[in-house]
Structure 1
Amino acid sequence: MGVSGLLPLLKSIHRPTELKKFAGETLGVDAYGWLHRGAIACAVDLAKGNPTRKYVDFAMHRVRMLKHFGVTPYLVFDGDFLPSKAATEGSRAKRREESKKSAMELLRAGKASQAALEFQKAIDVTPEMARNLIDELKKMDLPYVVAPYEADAQLVYLERQGLIGGILSEDSDLLVFGCKRLLTKLDQYGNCIEINRRDFCAVREVSLTGWTDTDFRRMAIFSGCDYLEGINNMGLKTAYRMMRKYKTPERLVRMIQFEGKHRISENYMSRFAQAELTFIHQRVYCPTKKRLVCLTEPEEGKSVEGMPFIGGYVEPELATAIAVGDVNPITKETIIPAPMPGSKTDAKRRHSQSAEALAAVSSASTRTRPPTKPIDSYFKGHQRIPMGEMDRNCFSVDPERVAALTHNGLVPRVFPLPRPYVEGTSASQPVTSSHPTRTARSTTSPRLIRRRTEPIQNLLEQNAPGSSYESPELPLVMQQTHWMTSIP
């Protein structure tokens, strides 16, 4: 879309700016650019015909952002196709059809992510989708207009008439039409790039000093635009150098044909003239006069009657109906908005789908089914017994089972208490001390093993007063002392 490489050619005059600097002004907006970007998020739904409003929500988010910064948006929508752009539109439609076909094949193959990318390439914004956005603009009482043909020419006309103070778009064609102030690369925070026509003389990539709008327009057409394919192997810089050298398009084409470096068709000059006249005299809608006018009125002695490529004439009543969005600019019939979630069209569609589903269910239920076993038959062997019917001793302890586990009471089932002073863990770290270290006590001695396994009641009885128990491991002196203290 637009002239390839034109914005990078003017990179030296790109001025980063913010929307808040344009508070109190009215900016024209290429509405189809916003709709196309919003449609990327719902490309699959649009391709399948499912109702969605994501593209409207995206555009309205941008509208509210402009209002937040004090800027009044003036949205301009594209209209009918220009005869000069028939070849370009035909190739684009063919590419969209191929992308949609490949996307459906990928979807059937189960490659949903790849199919979504192809669906995005097949997006085509329609007047029905634009009508949904127009309805939202009417609720906010914001200005808008549907151009009879190209929105670019309509935006430049509104700027020349003083109805807008600048143009917000991603299309570089606006500079070829004669846009004075272009705001592009707008992000979600209100930051954008300003390209002002008065700064053309400061371009460092090429010298535009002394160049007129006509020279700039012809350079862009030679490199390739929507109305004429560019010459092979000729970019913007090559076209600039040749226009600087040969001054006029006729001399430039003759020298190219003489040198033979580039291939040019025989009718190239006539097509070049048509493209240039389309940029100059394209038909637009005048909101003040309520009828179609030319972007630039032809000079005296020239008539637009012999220029069908700039767009056909439309009666004022029909042109006004198209401009307000009531009539489809392509078919010239009353426009029917695209189905939206929750709308009457969507309700009818859902009702028909539910009716079809109910019919399918009823037809399936009437089919003969094979006999099946009742679900209760699987649980007959495991019926639940009420608590009142159960034996009251069913949960009592079985003495025979306890005797088997304890070897008739010889091996008590006890769990020793944790004794950190007896049982050392391997994870514990040794404590460093300045005192001499003692010999580690054996952890496999009979005494420690007995302490770990013996019931704590036995240990208490051993230490009780009057007990005659003598430890076999105690020294002789300690045993005598223990025996003497045990005498009454």
Structure 2
Amino acid sequence: MGISRLAELIREEAPDAVSSVQLEDYRGRVVAMDVSVAFYQFRTAMPKIFNRHGENISPLRGLFYRTMHLLENGVKPVFVFDGKPPDLKERVLAKRAAVSGAKRKAADPAAYEPPQRLPRRDSERLLGYLGVPCVQAPAEAEATCAALVKSGRAWCTATEDMDALPFGSSRLLRHLNTKNRDLEEISLPVVLQKLGLTQEQFVDLCILLGCDYCEKIRGLGPKKALPLLRQHGSIEQVLHSTCSAQKHPLPENWPLEETRRLFLHPEVAEPSQVVLEWREPDEEGLLQFLAHEKHMAECQVRSRLEKWRTACLKRAQPQSPGPVTKGSKKQRRMVEFFQVKKRPRKQIPKPGRKKMKTQEQPGTAVET
């Protein structure tokens, strides 16, 4: 889920923090991505494609196409795998899964399928053949993505969830999975400046809005939580000053301090120990794995590799200046770089005319 209604609040209260960008703007940039979020998108948004062994290969196919799209645009992706989820998240996720599964099973028992586990080994093999680095997070993948950004090892975190911001990622890239739509970059420093909050107060705001680690306080939505935190500075002061047990009761066993610690001091992979190396895709390995083992159409794999190869050749060619059209920049001439000054014309006396002596003026001293 991420942080409930945080994106909406940022657009309303800190619109300057949100920029519309293009994928080409990230050429040469390192983009950290959560593998589980990507697979969830492929599993829910793409139609199921079963191979001859009955395996649903649509998530693997989606990962292949998206990664190739990033590579052919000059982006350097690094995929981060989740580790052991925090105990707080396990309780919340189990509760949500039970409610969601019961609703779907009640709606259509024949069509209900239990959620599939992430095909970790297949995704690692695919990314290895693509020449893209992978990182194993000890806990939450987005926390390690944020740590890579904070350390300068990555430029931004690419995810739809807003958790990367309270984890401290200075840049969040959204809508990477949407075609024909501008990407959206959110700047955390600008968010904090426009909201008038410190990072610690921003984490408190995210807790009040609702996160994956604890339930929210009933009645304290975005319209109330932000001004109250601006006024009082912390959740404890907000509760002490304005809230009563009858009006805004706290959830039972509410783990405020533990949730704060998860956001402000998460368990992450040490950025300095992370090896980030990119290689050219292994075309033969990709064909063997995708076409022969996973039985994806070989013509599709070859066609996608050919498109990537063409894009690489195009980027390697020097760009020649095109014709000057209306609205385009005019090519500058040499005289615009070096200013040319005309020399003063030398006066040459005409022949046959004698130079007249100047007559001394009366009262002028003559030097002897």
TM-score normalised by L of structure 2:
0.67
SS of corresponding position for 1:179? coil
Count how many residue pairs are aligned between Structure 1 and Structure 2.
275
| Residue aligned with 2:85, SS | coil
Aligned amino acid, residue 33 of structure 2: V
- Residue identity in the other structure for 2:263: F
Whole-angstrom CA distance in 1 between matches of 2:226 and 2:106: 40
The alpha carbon displacement at 1:240 in A equals: 1.0
Cα distance between partner residues in 1 of 2:107 and 2:136: 31
Instruction: Report SS of the residue matched to 2:71.
Output: helix
Q: CA deviation at 1:170?
A: 0.2
Q: CA RMSD in A?
A: 2.9
Distance 2:208 2:19 in 1: 27
Change in Cα spacing, 1:98 to 1:235, as seen in structure 2 (3 Å) is same
Q: Distance in 2 between matches of 1:23 and 1:153?
A: 24
Task: Report the secondary structure of 1:254's partner residue.
Answer: helix
Are 2:209 and 1:223 equivalent residues in the alignment? yes
Query: Larger RCO: Structure 1 or Structure 2 (Cα < 8 Å, ≥ 6 residues apart)?
Result: 2
Structure showing the higher helix proportion among its residues:
1
Whichever residue aligns with residue 146 of structure 1, its letter is Q
Q: Secondary structure of the residue that 1:70 maps to in structure 2?
A: coil
C-alpha spacing 1:60/1:189, structure 2 compared with 1 (3 Å): farther
Aligned partner letter, 1:229: E
Cα distance between partner residues in 2 of 1:344 and 1:25: 31
| CA distance in structure 2 between the aligned counterparts of 1:150 and 1:52, rounded to whole angstroms | 26
Give TM-score scaled by structure 1 length.
0.52
Q: Secondary structure at the match of 2:164?
A: helix
SS of equivalent residue, structure 1 residue 225: coil
SS state of the match for residue 285, structure 1?
Answer: coil
Say whether the 8 Å CA contact 1:257–1:264 is kept in structure 2.
no
Kindly indicate whether the alpha-carbon contact (under 8 Å) linking 1:36 and 1:123 is maintained by their aligned counterparts in 2.
no
Partner in structure 2 of residue 193 of structure 1: 184
Residue type of the alignment partner of 2:185: E
2:274 aligned with 1:284: no
Does the aligned pair in 1 maintain the 2:48–2:56 contact within 8 Å?
no
Q: Is the 8 A contact 2:50 2:57 kept in 1?
A: no
Q: Which residue of 2 aligns with 1:275?
A: 259
Listed as ranges, the matches of 1:420-439 within 5 Å are: none
Higher Cα Rg, which structure: 1
Q: Work out which of the residue numbers 239, 248, 253 in structure 1 matches 2:239.
A: 253
C-alpha displacement of 1:102: 3.8
The Cα shift of 1:185 comes to 1.4
Distance 1:20 1:133 in 2: 26
Equivalent pair of 1:84/1:278 in contact (CA under 8 Å): no
Structure 1 unmatched ranges of 5 or more: 108-114, 291-338, 346-488
1:42–1:55: 8 Å Cα contact kept in structure 2? no
Change (3 A) 1:185 1:134: same
Q: In the TM superposition, what whole-angstrom CA distance separates every residue of 1:38-63 from its partner, at most 9, and x where no partner exists?
A: 112355969xx931211111112111
* TM superposition shift of 1:24: 0.9
Alpha-carbon offset, residue 130 of structure 1: 2.8
Q: Deviations over 1:283-313 (max 9, x none)?
A: 11226447xxxxxxxxxxxxxxxxxxxxxxx
The answer for unaligned runs of 5 or more in structure 2 is 275-288, 296-368
Q: 1:70-120, CA deviations, whole angstroms, 9 ceiling, x for partnerless residues?
A: 101111122222112122121133135425634762x3xxxxxxx4xx65x
Shift, 1:20, TM fit:
0.3
Identity of counterpart residues, as a percentage?
26
Partner amino acid, structure 1, of 2:188: R
Provide the C-alpha distance between the structure 2 equivalents of 1:161 and 1:226, rounded to a whole number of angstroms. 25
Q: Which amino acid aligns with 2:78?
A: Y
Amino acid at match of 1:277: R
